[in-house]
Structure 1
Amino acid sequence: MTEHKVKAYAATSATAPLGPYPIKRRQLRDHDVEIDIHYCGVCHSDLHTARNDWNWTVYPIVPGHEIIGKVVAVGSKVSHYRLGDTVGVGCMVNSCGHCAACDEGFEQHCHTGATYTYGWPDSSEEGGITQGGYSEKIVVNQNFVLRVPDTLDMAAAAPLLCAGITTWAPLQEAGIGPGSKVAVVGLGGLGHMAIKLARALGAEVTLITRSAGKEADALRLGASKVVLSSDAAQMAAVANQFHLIVDTVPYAHDLNPYLPTLSHKGKLVLIGYLGPLEPALDSVVMIMGGRSVAGSMIGGIAATQQMLDFCGQHGIGADIELIHMQDINQAYERMLASDVKYRFVIDMASLRNAG
């Protein structure tokens, strides 16, 4: 099979709206899987990359790393997948495969650098840069393709490839299960998945939010109560309770009010914010209580497959709003205004069928 052009949507500069931009997908190699993309989730990382908020974007850029589709071709040495399988591709499409991190199943922490699904150097791709899931097709090494359980709705499964694994990883690392008490800070795309997964694992879940009016949604998703972070009395009432706090807030914020709510040896894990912490952490509360603050980024391939299988067994998908590819720029503006419950997912038939 030769390299071929496919329809896609790309940003051509930090200020240009996304629009149609054909790209080439590589020739199928021995261990590659070619996927017809049916659905692609919309992540805040897509928006940040399209607008070069992190100062590393190479244009043109096709975002999208929450990819669900069907296998339409396989390389001669592919053993994991067959034509017609429902599969997913998340935030990574390759890694070195032999460093200590990769050997332990943490490809996202590859010592030589994982290859991410879009905007990342890759000599095998046109222009030497990976391009993501806002497109008709993608070609990926079988080791970075994930099997999607048939019990899951394909569209609702798309955000599991980023929001799902990002929240699953700290829950698993902390050994969360029956008897655990988990707090989730923030109720957005990440927060709603953290509540669903923690509850399904058997934990008692509390939403901590600065905004009133979230109680009905939080309880529907699986939380047992809601605490307003701006209410000192409510925060004091949950002191020393939580084994784990999953902090999904995507901007700099004061972590100090949350630390006293951790139990002895409890941990607060940042999954939404990248950057310096302001104000500084008060180490007294950590040292005296054996508490810690850590960070977590997505998860390895094995952990992602474990998460998908768990979601398939428990019927867990994201709460989504399905959109057409042609509406992506409006979706970005709505994301900035927090006007989505809780993830946009693109129906890629809208791109495939466009003139």
Structure 2
Amino acid sequence: MIATKGYAAMNAGEQLTEWNFERRAVGPNDVQFDIQYCGVCHSDLHQIRNDWFPGIFPMVPGHEIVGRVIAVGENVSKFKLGDLVGTGCMVDSCGDCSSCKHGEEQYCENGSVSTYNGLNKYTDGMPTYGGYSKTIVVKEDFVLNVPENLPLSGVAPLLCAGITTYSPLRHWKVGKGHKLAVLGLGGLGHMAVKFGVAFGAEVTVLSTSENKREDAMKLGAHQFVVTKDEAQFNAVKDSFDFILDTVSAPHDIAAYMGLLKTNGVHICVGVPSEPSVIPAFALIGNRKSLAGSMIGGIEETQEMLDFCGENNIVSEVEVIDMAYIDKAYERMEKNDVKYRFVIDMATL
């Protein structure tokens, strides 16, 4: 076993505190890397609070993890000491089901293993602990190469916020000739804008806050709509081919579906803590679709990282000390971050 330390919630809803714990020893197919940066995702807060399902405590959050390799198992062929690598939301899957065989491990029919708040059911059956820590041991197949030319702090959120928005845009082949609306300009939304623009779509940001207009335009958006302004909202009805919904707070999805063209698709990637009600008439009148998407498979995530390296795309971040995490959560709930907190793990 490997002794390390991190920040953990000892019980549901509690503030995080420093915690000493053990990782498994490096097995023949494992990679160990020391963590340099870890992004702070809204789902970290949801899981600490048991908003979605009962958690496994103590809980070490964090699934936007980057660092350098310090050990590899005897069977590892893809990585060597010193490589710059990352790990996102998964650390294992069954590898045998149809989804896994098609490179969509996130939809593993036998259940993928979450980077934290999960159980290593395909290895030792022990709880998984995330990236708010000094070091991590991950199966080689779930470790990713990180481009050396990008600022590392800005890369970390690509492992969740990046792939969560990249994957649906690629799946629905969003690009030139399409009008894309990005609902919400936060950690997910700002990445959706960057990718949508990079893919050639005409991008409009839908936001409740006028004060995000300038940032949206700087990120490359072509239009900005304040959704609380009835005139602005009504002016873009029947306008969009796609809406990428990144909002994690309760909101009226049916109202936004009125902004879609015939055959338009509303894609949910944000996860509110309360369910939404969608009247059938919001869908059938113009053959609209309501869809969802969750991160991406390992091959697609590597594709996304390579694309970002080639196009100099990273997340907009505020780097924080580990001890600042509870204050960061408070600010995150108030949307007081542009646009992702990232922890400098050297401060742990």
Q: How does the TM-score come out when normalised to structure 2?
A: 0.96
- Find the counterpart in structure 2 of residue 214 from structure 1: 212
Cα distance in 1, alignment partners of residues 117 and 99 from structure 2: 22
Residue 246 of structure 1 pairs with residue 236 of structure 2: no
Equivalent residue for 1:301? 298
Tell me the distance in 1 between the aligned counterparts of 2:166 and 2:306.
12
Answer yes or no: is the 8 Å Cα contact 1:168–1:197 preserved in 2.
yes
Matched-pair identity in %: 50
1:140-177: CA deviations, max 9, x gaps? 01110011111211110000000001111110111012
Aligned-pair RMSD on alpha carbons? 1.6
Q: Which whole-Å deviations, capped at 9, do the CAs of 1:177-200 have from their partners, x for residues lacking one?
A: 222210000111111111011111
The residue number in structure 2 matching 1:129 is 127
Structure 1 residue runs of 5 or longer lacking an equivalent are: none
Question: Which whole-Å CA distance do the structure 1 matches of 2:122 and 2:104 have between them?
Answer: 23
Mapping of 1:142-221 within 5 angstroms?
A: 142-221=140-219
Partners of 1:83 and 1:149 in 2: how far apart? 16
Q: Is the counterpart of residue 44 in structure 1 residue 42 in structure 2?
A: yes
> Given the alignment, which residue of 72, 79, 87 partners 2:77?
79
Which residue identity is paired with 1:253?
Answer: H
Alignment correspondent of 1:230: 228
Distance 2:202 2:336 in 1: 28
Q: Is the 8 A contact 2:243 2:260 kept in 1?
A: yes
**Does the 8 Å contact 1:244/1:268 carry over to 2?**
yes
Which digits, 9 at most, give the CA deviation of each residue in 1:223-263, with x for residues without a partner?
Answer: 11111222333223223221110001112211122212212
- Counting matched residue pairs gives 348
Contact 1:10/1:63 (8 A) holds in 2: yes
Contact 1:57-1:119 at 8 Å conserved across structures = yes
Q: What 5-or-longer segments of structure 2 have no aligned partner?
A: none
> 2:247–2:272: 8 Å Cα contact kept in structure 1?
no
CA contact (8 A) 2:13 2:50 kept: no
Q: Which runs of 4+ in 1 moved over 3 A?
A: 123-127, 274-278
- Residues 276, 338 of structure 1: alpha-carbon distance in 2 compared, 3 angstrom cutoff: closer
CA drift of 1:123 comes to 5.1
Q: How does 1:300-339 map to 2 (within 5 A)?
A: 300-339=297-336
Question: Retained in 2: the 8 A contact 1:26–1:125?
Answer: no
Structure 1 residues 135 and 44, CA, compared in 2 at 3 Å: closer, same or farther? same
SS at structure 1 position matched to 2:225:
strand
Q: Is the 8 A contact 1:25 1:125 kept in 2?
A: no
User: Cα distance, 1:127 vs. partner?
Assistant: 7.8
Cα 1:275–1:341 shift into 2, 3 Å: closer
Contact 2:92 2:122 in 1 (8 A): no
- 1:289: Cα distance to partner? 1.3
Residues 276 and 213 (structure 1 numbering): CA distance in 2 closer, same or farther, change over 3 Å? closer
Query: What TM-score does the superposition give when structure 1 sets the normalisation length?
Result: 0.94
Is 2:335 aligned against 1:342? no
